[in-house]
Amino acid sequence: MPIKYVPFVPEPIEGQAVLNFNRVLKYKGVDDTSMTLQRGMPLYEVEKLESVGDNTENNMVFRGECITTCAYLKEHNIQVDLVYIDPPFASGADYAKKIYLRRNPKVAEAIAQAEQEIDSEELRAFEEKMYGDVWNKEKYLNWMYENLLAIKSIMSETASIYVHLDWHIVHYMKVLMDEIFGEDNFRNDIIWHYSGWNKKLKVSFEKRHDTILYYCQDDEGTSFNSFFEQWESEEEYIKKRKQKPLTDENGRRYVLSDAGNGKRVKRYLDEAIKDGVVVDDVWDIDKINNSAKESLDYSTQKPEVLLERIIKASSNENMVVADFFGGSGVTAAVASKLNRRFITCDIGLNSIQTMRDRLSADGASFDVYEIKDGVQLYRNPVQTMDKIKSLIPGLKNEDALDSFWEGTITDTKNGTIPVYIPNLMDSTSKLLDKVTMQRIIHEAIPDLPPNTKKVIVYYVDITSEEEIKQFIDEDDSTIVEIELRDLKTILDDVVIEDYAEFSVAETSDDLINKYVVTINRFMSDRVTAKILEYNNKCSLNDKKKTFKPIQISNEGLEMIEYLSLDCESNEGEWHSSSEIKIDKNSFVILNGEKTKSFWDGSIKSEKKPLRLKIRNICGDETVWSIE
């Protein structure tokens, strides 16, 4: 349950055209939209998980939703000067993270096998659902309306905002953003054009651009740093501008440019190289491919140069740059490199780990927080949903029921009991409030078969259990019994922590790093369950019978992705005194430095280690005290 609600401050812009869609916000009162706005953004408890570096700039990484992060910032009077967001696009895609088994340092045979696989680039990977973005337009716009109001409430008076979208929804979002930020504060729709494969399309042109809508809080007060792009050589200019140069009588090369008055003027390439070229609103920047140096294997990762332009144009050193859909952490990473402060958040565990490792490797200092909103129960909402369904005893799919109901449970007293589970992917249904209960009583229950005696309603978050129970008791329009159940109790019971056997020793081999922790065995039920699921799926689909199931060694060290030692404290927030990340090719990244060595099964530290943290390849982290 939220500690309290923090006002959005949704000042409507007078005289602004609005989209004619039904604005349903998740924290609304029974049927009155204005009550939603009165109620505000939910503020939850926040726990600091880790401190990286001295963090005098107060850089923050939150694991939590955009709206709950904004509530925290608002409550603490923290404002931001520039926002870039790249929210899930309503594109219907279902993003996946590839998970790679690492090389097992303990087993000679496995070493050979792993190296062979690496050579042949047939890395063993299995997919894990990260987050889905399957939405309908109405829901998406409602969700973005709420997020944008929350973001606006923590933007400084002269802040700018860039919203990264594509053809699926950008045209609707322009109208929505006009409503929130004001048409007069619209500055650009930046076209990010990228290259792709040539293929013949039958019905339309190839879609090869995204659109970034750029607004400011106050068109007169918000500054903008125009800048020129420098080209390395005339050849680069020609390639990027895709213009064939002409040569004058002195052998100087030029292109013809539009002077804006119907006339064409000569633009000499040597001058263009010297002066640079003004950056306009069409940006030709290639997408990141997997082999790019900056690639982190995060499926929607955007290129750093894109963010560099935005951050340089709309902020100055020491200003606060924020990204509330942080993904791979590109905004925070570029902001930090350009000496800006940063605030970022994401709901996905994989995202938080990717950005944490990226920023730490870049030498940035920051704190990592978790917002205790009861949603990040298990890695991310998609996986939590899958997990929840598998954990409710006796829950069966029931095609005959409306999709509002997740399935049914049968018992001898009540017969078939329909079960409602909030969809964690859909922000409008996560909170069990009077609105949802009203829907259940007046819309969902009347559609059930007439012999239904009872329904079960699960919740993750509830406005107030007493209030909802009273609401049910006072509503006498149904004789069906409604049982409320807390989903969190189910998950708390079943998450089995990973298990590690390790030894700690002092070594004289290394003069600096005197302590060595050696991992002898690692077991993870959570990873093993995923692998089993993957093996079963592949065997079923394997018509040619060539699939070789993945097998985990007795030592299990191939399931480890990251290790860290805390030598400062044996409780509270984590301080990583020494860390090893094993990349997908099994090469070690030691304290942020990439190496070409394989992991030897140990981790060293200068000071006596007090705690050991291990992250498995699916992203679950477990901490052990070192006696």
Ligand X SMILES: C[S@@+](CC[C@H](N)C(=O)[O-])C[C@H]1O[C@@H](n2cnc3c(N)ncnc32)[C@H](O)[C@@H]1O
Residues that bind ligand X (CB under 6 A): 65-66, 86-88, 131, 298, 300-302, 324-325, 327-328, 330, 345-348, 351
Task: Give least dist CB 430 to ligand X, A.
Answer: 10
Are 283 and 191 in contact by the 8 Å Cβ rule? The answer is yes
**Nearer CB in complex with ligand X: 375/392:** 375
Strands (E), 133-218: 155-165, 186-193, 209-216
The count of other CB atoms within 10 Å of the CB of residue 358 is: 21
Q: Find residue 564's DSSP bridge partners.
A: 579, 613
CA angle 233–193–173, rounded 5-degree value: 145
Task: Give least dist CB 84 to ligand X, A.
Answer: 8
515-523 vs 602-605, strand pairing mode = antiparallel
Q: To which residue do tokens 């001898």 refer?
A: 412
Burial of 399 (0-12, 13-18, 19+ CB in 10 A): exposed
**Nearer CB in complex with ligand X: 104/383:** 383
**Nearer CB in complex with ligand X: 383/564:** 383
Asked whether the CA dihedral 419, 425, 430, 436 is positive or negative, the reply is: negative
By beta carbon distance, the residue nearest ligand X is 327
Are 188 and 314 in contact by the 8 Å Cβ rule? The answer is no
d(CA 609, CA 602): 13
**Nearer CB in complex with ligand X: 307/455:** 307
Angle between helices 170-181 and 137-152 (to 10 degrees): 30
Task: Give least dist CB 348 to ligand X, A.
Answer: 4
**Nearer CB in complex with ligand X: 219/621:** 621
Angle between helices 349-361 and 330-337 (to 10 degrees): 20
**Nearer CB in complex with ligand X: 301/314:** 301
Asked whether the CA dihedral 585, 581, 346, 311 is positive or negative, the reply is: negative
Q: Which residues contact 227 (CB under 8 A, 6 or more apart)?
A: 276, 279, 312, 313
Residue 444 has which token pair? 């969902």
Angle between helices 304-314 and 330-337 (to 10 degrees): 60
Nearest C-alpha neighbor of 530 from the set 129, 139, 115: 129
**Nearer CB in complex with ligand X: 25/603:** 25
Task: Give least dist CB 330 to ligand X, A.
Answer: 4
Nearest C-alpha neighbor of 117 from the set 131, 98, 104: 104
Q: Find residue 176's DSSP bridge partners.
A: none
Distances from the Cα of 331 to the Cα of 132, 281, 287, angstroms: 22, 19, 16
Q: Find residue 411's DSSP bridge partners.
A: 415
Task: Give least dist CB 520 to ligand X, A.
Answer: 35
**Nearer CB in complex with ligand X: 301/408:** 301
Task: Give least dist CB 333 to ligand X, A.
Answer: 9
The count of other CB atoms within 10 Å of the CB of residue 298 is: 21
**Nearer CB in complex with ligand X: 283/405:** 283
**Nearer CB in complex with ligand X: 305/523:** 305
Nearest C-alpha neighbor of 122 from the set 100, 95, 96, 97: 100
Task: Give least dist CB 65 to ligand X, A.
Answer: 4
Residue 205 has which token pair? 């042109």
560-566 vs 611-616, strand pairing mode = antiparallel
**Nearer CB in complex with ligand X: 302/341:** 302
**Nearer CB in complex with ligand X: 383/586:** 383
Task: Give least dist CB 544 to ligand X, A.
Answer: 36
**Nearer CB in complex with ligand X: 49/417:** 49
**Nearer CB in complex with ligand X: 286/571:** 286
Task: Give least dist CB 53 to ligand X, A.
Answer: 22
Task: Give least dist CB 246 to ligand X, A.
Answer: 39
320-323 vs 341-346, strand pairing mode = parallel
Q: To which residue do tokens 């716009």 refer?
A: 141
Task: Give least dist CB 388 to ligand X, A.
Answer: 18
**Nearer CB in complex with ligand X: 328/336:** 328
DSSP string spanning 377-434? SSSSHHHHHHHHHHHSTT-B--TTS-TTS-EEEEETTTEEEEEE---TT-TTTSEE-H
**Nearer CB in complex with ligand X: 118/305:** 305
Are 82 and 307 in contact by the 8 Å Cβ rule? The answer is no
DSSP string spanning 459-502? ESEES-HHHHHHHHHH--S--SEEEEEEHHHHHHHH-PPPEEEE
Residue 159 has which token pair? 């802040």
Task: Give least dist CB 327 to ligand X, A.
Answer: 2
Are 87 and 395 in contact by the 8 Å Cβ rule? The answer is no
Task: Give least dist CB 133 to ligand X, A.
Answer: 7
Task: Give least dist CB 107 to ligand X, A.
Answer: 35
d(CA 220, CA 158): 9
d(CA 169, CA 88): 11
Task: Give least dist CB 144 to ligand X, A.
Answer: 10
Task: Give least dist CB 24 to ligand X, A.
Answer: 16
d(CA 402, CA 397): 11
